Structure 1
Amino acid sequence: MAPSISSVLLLVFAGLATAKQCQNFTIPVDITARQGKFLEIPLEGNLDATTFSQLLTQNGANYTATLLQGYQTLQGSYNISAKYCIPDNEKPGPIVQVLSHGIGFDKSYWDLSYNNYNYSYVEVATDYGYSTLAIDRLGIGASSHGDPWNEIQAVAEVEALNAVTTKLRRGEIPQIKNKFSKVVHVGHSFGSVESYWLSALYPSNTDGLILTGYSTASFITTTIAAWNLHIARLNQPYRLGDASPPAGFGFEDLEKGLQALAHKFDIGLSDQDIWNTIATTEVSNLIQGYNETICPLNYSSGYLTWSDLTANQFTFLWPGRYDIGLGLVAEATKQPVTPGEILTIGSAPKTSPFNGPVLVFTGEYDQPFCGGNCYAASPSIPAQAKAQFPKASAFVPYIQPHTAHGLNVHYNATAGYKYIQSFLSSHGLAAA
């Protein structure tokens, strides 16, 4: 029989003491962002989410232009949730890596506790002597939420990232008590887009770029179609919404209930069938939160998410190259996306004047940025991003083998992390 889902999910909280010191805190930021004003269509139910996907992916149409009503300036004060880590028993060095997650994740993407932190990027970076600051992007996770159409857009998130970076350099974050002379921006997917965007608008505010899960190509329509978008608060009502789960009910109870039904009606479901029904479909998400939800995130109805683990695999995971247990953890801890983000992700400047080192690090089978095959162009699709950096001191496109878009949840993640640290060391950004 397949392992109990609850036993697998509990592993996300497992892990022994690690060779780093970390603290969680909130960074207040003030931002000003010139961004789009969109017509807000209804996004209350899952069929609304499907309609949005259909119109957005319609061949020959430009739904973004249809919804765009003009432009406006957003000004506001927000809180950015952060996790700061330094090597154990060491003082912070002069370089900090700022880690920005992609769509569907939060800052935990960089420090996965699963299997004794075997998939943790932060674990490797601190082993090399770097300090790290992983943030929840504006609008996501424990950072300030906002209107999903006309507030939480790409430009606002870039401005929040820049504000955090400036505070790091000036020593204006009380919990850190340190100034950093150099800041490296490490992104994944949308986090890479925003890190690139920052380098285009504020080239002097970054010293190195690591863009993972990235290229200048886009297969966004396929990605959106594959997600089979749902309203986040309906997909995981006890975690992403604000519903209160009944006490005393867990995954084992549902497994037992399905087993009893299968026996009563002679349906012929095996234990493996039952496990697959619960773990890889929307059934898992509907009961998500019975066991581990501590504080519901209470996203508004306009926040969206993909439907289930099958959609997750298509977009992020390569079959046979990731631990199914970690795949379940990724589904159980997933975060949403806003329509404002989807409509503005492609609006970044065409080139950046940044003159430091750039590494584009993308999985061989990346779907959103390579259409599932990064070698479909010669020498590779990510290599085409060199045109964005005409002044870069170094530009290296690296293809991580046997890996899809969600780089950090594949078996060979650690080898990739070490490659990134070696790149930084060899381009004037060694930790010490």
Structure 2
Amino acid sequence: MNAILHLASLGALALIPAVACAATTNTKRCVELEVPVPIVATNQIFDQPRVDSTIDAIDWTVWVSTRTTLPARDRVIKDNPIKDIFKINAQLCVPSDKGPKADILQIATPGLGFDKRYFDAEVQPDEYSYVNAALKKGYSILTYDRLGTGKSQKPNAYDVVQIPTEIEILASLTKIARSGKLISSSKVLSSSRTTVSDFEPSKVVQIGYSFGSFLIQNVLARYPELSDGAVLTALYPNTIPFAQMIDVLHYDHEYPKENDPARFSEYGSGYFVLSNKADLQKLFFQKRSLDPALLTYTEKIKQPETLGEYASEGLSSYLVAEDFKGPVQFFIGEFDNFVCRGDCRGIYDPTEANRIFPHSNATYYLQPNTGHAPGLSKNASAGYEVMLGFLDSHNL
């Protein structure tokens, strides 16, 4: 849904409480946290219209796609230094039995339009929840709501919720987790009858989806010491020219408070959300692997985006991860309508993949009959086996 993915075309494990997460058939031990995440970043203030209504949201969609609208780099008014501590909602889950992978922590970053529930579906969770799949293989996993989504803080949508801020939030959250102080430095939100203590992971693996995968790529380049490997889903270096990519005009947006006043009451100026299930299907799904219950679920959990995210994409790109040497897998739906104009076969660009990951021997995998949301498709569990098998093959 964003220009960056166009560029992609271009110690002992402590006792964690058993709390109420999504209903599953396997034991799931999770704790919900409010993590104070300190960051320093440099955003920009852009010349751009305001969005204070659905009429504004549609007008912005047309404006940003108009051929005479200046590119983002030419609309920068000034730098906007950010030094703040943001409240980020996160969930840490650990396997019931401590095995050899329990001290490997996966950190999962969702994409635009979603919060952490993308990785932990409540519809047939034993089939569709990536959190459940990782736990069954013995991993610990941390999911979180990106800034401006879910239960995380919702600051200024124009000047604060931008890519540089979100990159630094992921890096800072990873540092906190690696330090072994994630729980002790956070506010525990879930009720608990047992002792909650920290654990220090031996390794950290980044799991990304779409926009979240792009954020991870930048973190791996800027902070290579923080991670040991990555699986980047819905991201795929390929040979389609930028000018041929699908743009935002293909999808209708609404002002969140008008789209769903009860659900989106906290969202103010500069936020917008995909309008309805038809737009969600166009962007995220492929009919051959579409479960209608998951389309309904996607509508239920959809999240707003910000003008700041879209504008900052114009100043963002892949960075060369020169000092990152961990394994990387690009995982893409075979018929991703957004990244590949509906067909990802035969267009993988190994030259670009090796340019941005020169020491990772990056590989790719096409998930059959799947669109832009592989984690919400009928064959999600088969895809998870591929992802987790890739990590296991690299001793992660």
TM band (smaller chain): 0.7 to 0.9
Aligned to 1:104: 113
Structure-2 separation of matches of 1:176 and 1:387: 41
1:140 maps to 2:170: no
Aligned to 1:236: 260
Structure-2 separation of matches of 1:219 and 1:26: 41
Q: Does the CA-based 8 Å contact 2:214-2:318 persist in structure 1?
A: no
Aligned to 1:372: 342
Q: Does the CA-based 8 Å contact 2:333-2:371 persist in structure 1?
A: yes
Change (3 A) 1:168 1:176: farther
Q: What amino acid is aligned across from residue 394 of structure 2 in structure 1?
A: H
Which residue, 32, 36, 53 being the options, matches 2:61?
53
Deviations 1:75-118 (A, max 9, x none): 11111111111112337722100000011111011111212432
1:320 maps to 2:288: yes
* Unaligned runs of at least 5 residues, structure 1: 1-12, 242-297
3-state secondary structure, aligned to 1:215:
coil
Change (3 A) 1:306 1:176: farther
Q: CA deviation at 1:376?
A: 5.4
3-state secondary structure, aligned to 1:222:
coil
Aligned to 2:103: 94
Q: CA deviation at 1:176?
A: 5.0
Q: CA deviation at 1:373?
A: 1.2
Which residue, 166, 169, 172 being the options, matches 1:157?
166
Q: What amino acid is aligned across from residue 33 of structure 1 in structure 2?
A: A
Q: CA deviation at 1:65?
A: 3.2
Change (3 A) 1:14 1:33: closer
- Note the 1:72-83 alignment, pairs <5 A: 72-83=80-91
3-state secondary structure, aligned to 1:368:
helix
Q: CA deviation at 1:384?
A: 4.2
1:208 maps to 2:178: no
Structure-2 separation of matches of 1:344 and 1:18: 41
Q: Does the CA-based 8 Å contact 1:232-1:240 persist in structure 2?
A: yes
TM-score, L = length of structure 2: 0.85
Aligned to 2:387: 420
Structure-1 separation of matches of 2:94 and 2:317: 32
Deviations 1:113-145 (A, max 9, x none): 212432000111111110000010122111111
3-state secondary structure, aligned to 1:335:
coil
Structure-1 separation of matches of 2:297 and 2:234: 20
Deviations 1:228-274 (A, max 9, x none): 11112211111012xxxxxxxxxxxxxxxxxxxxxxxxxxxxxxxxx
Aligned length: 358
Q: What amino acid is aligned across from residue 398 of structure 1 in structure 2?
A: Y
Q: Does the CA-based 8 Å contact 2:231-2:387 persist in structure 1?
A: yes
1:348 maps to 2:357: no
Structure-1 separation of matches of 2:251 and 2:172: 32
Aligned to 2:377: 410
Change (3 A) 1:408 1:382: farther
TM-score, L = length of structure 1: 0.78
Q: What amino acid is aligned across from residue 59 of structure 1 in structure 2?
A: R
**Deviation larger for 122-131 or 62-71:** 62-71
Aligned to 1:247: none
Q: Does the CA-based 8 Å contact 1:193-1:345 persist in structure 2?
A: no
Q: What amino acid is aligned across from residue 258 of structure 2 in structure 1?
A: L
Q: Which has the higher contact order (CA 8 A, sep 6+)?
A: 2
1:307 maps to 2:275: yes
Q: Does the CA-based 8 Å contact 1:382-1:397 persist in structure 2?
A: no
Q: Does the CA-based 8 Å contact 1:214-1:361 persist in structure 2?
A: yes
Structure-1 separation of matches of 2:332 and 2:251: 20
Q: What amino acid is aligned across from residue 246 of structure 2 in structure 1?
A: T
Structure index of larger Rg: 1
Structure-1 separation of matches of 2:245 and 2:393: 38
Q: Which runs of 4+ in 1 moved over 4 A?
A: 217-221, 381-384
1:397 maps to 2:367: no
Change (3 A) 1:66 1:53: farther
* Unaligned runs of at least 5 residues, structure 2: 1-20, 185-195
Q: Does the CA-based 8 Å contact 1:31-1:159 persist in structure 2?
A: yes
Q: CA deviation at 1:67?
A: 3.1
Q: CA deviation at 1:14?
A: 7.5
Q: CA deviation at 1:19?
A: 3.0
Q: What amino acid is aligned across from residue 142 of structure 2 in structure 1?
A: L
Structure-2 separation of matches of 1:427 and 1:376: 26
Change (3 A) 1:220 1:36: farther
Aligned to 2:10: none
Structure-1 separation of matches of 2:39 and 2:22: 37
Aligned to 1:358: 328
Q: What amino acid is aligned across from residue 66 of structure 2 in structure 1?
A: Q
Q: What amino acid is aligned across from residue 102 of structure 1 in structure 2?
A: G
